Amino acid sequence: MSSLLLNRSSFGKPENRGNLLSLEKANALLNDWVPNERLRLHMKQVAAVMKAWAIEKENADEETARKWELAGLLHDADWEKFPDQHCKVIIEELERRNIDPDVIQCIASHGPRHFGVEPKTRMDHMIYAIDELSGFIHAAALIRPTRYEGLEVKSVLKRLKSPAFAAQVSREEINDAIARAGLSLEELIAFIIQKQQSIN
């Protein structure tokens, strides 16, 4: 991930709260902006985990769960076509479309060390924690003959301790995100395995 400091801390407009992109429109945007199937899958997996976490762990209502899902679905939407301006381009697009500020703020804070935007809400903290770990777990599943079937938390933990595996994934960032969100790494790994394996 390249670094681009966004140099602002406010995103979207409060009066747009509740204005969410339909899943159809969000998927159309993805199909248009993200030709890379694997990257699209990553965003769909993060979206599924975010939505499930909102409902099961945060008691979110339907609209709130849709916000979590939408942020997950679009967080890397500009990564393939505008790597040097990630995530500025998708943020500005969503602002142009008058989308809910919570969703835009969440996308802006998914990589505090890269974009300089600190996570504020629970949703912000969770996208930061889920994003890298989701990709890492998918990589760990892909190298197994049975993929997700039988993939255990302890084997993911073991891979995290081996720096050569998926070396581009920052362990430091994962630990930082887990600590900030006050989560158990084991619990989050188990949750992600369970929720993203059917998304393919």
Phi-psi region of 150 (alpha: psi -120 to 50; beta: other; left: phi over 0): left
Return d(Cα 113, Cα 5) in angstroms, integer.
9
Return d(Cα 91, Cα 103) in angstroms, integer.
9
In angstroms, what is the minimal distance from the CB of 59 to Fe ion? 25
Quick one: tokens of 69? 């899902």
- Please say which residue, 16 or 123, places its beta carbon nearer to Fe ion: 123
Quick one: tokens of 195? 């929720």
Of 2-10, 131-139, 167-175, 187-195, the segment contacting Fe ion by CB under 5 A is 131-139
In angstroms, what is the minimal distance from the CB of 13 to Fe ion? 25
In angstroms, what is the minimal distance from the CB of 145 to Fe ion? 26
Q: Which H helix or E strand runs over 118?
A: none
Closest CA to 140 of 160, 122, 112, 116: 160
Of 21-29, 129-137, 179-187, 190-198, the segment contacting Fe ion by CB under 5 A is 129-137
Binding residue (CB under 5 A) for Fe ion from 72, 131, 160, 185: 131
Residue pair 146/157 in contact by the 8 Å Cβ criterion: no
The 36-75 site mask, x for binding Fe ion (CB under 5 A), equals ----------------------------------------
- Please say which residue, 78 or 131, places its beta carbon nearer to Fe ion: 131
Q: How many CB atoms lie within 10 A of CB 29?
A: 18
- Please say which residue, 16 or 189, places its beta carbon nearer to Fe ion: 189
Binding residue (CB under 5 A) for Fe ion from 76, 78, 100, 173: 76
- Please say which residue, 42 or 66, places its beta carbon nearer to Fe ion: 42
- Please say which residue, 69 or 76, places its beta carbon nearer to Fe ion: 76
Cα maximum dimension of the chain: 50
Which stretches of the chain bind Fe ion, using CB under 5 A? 76, 131
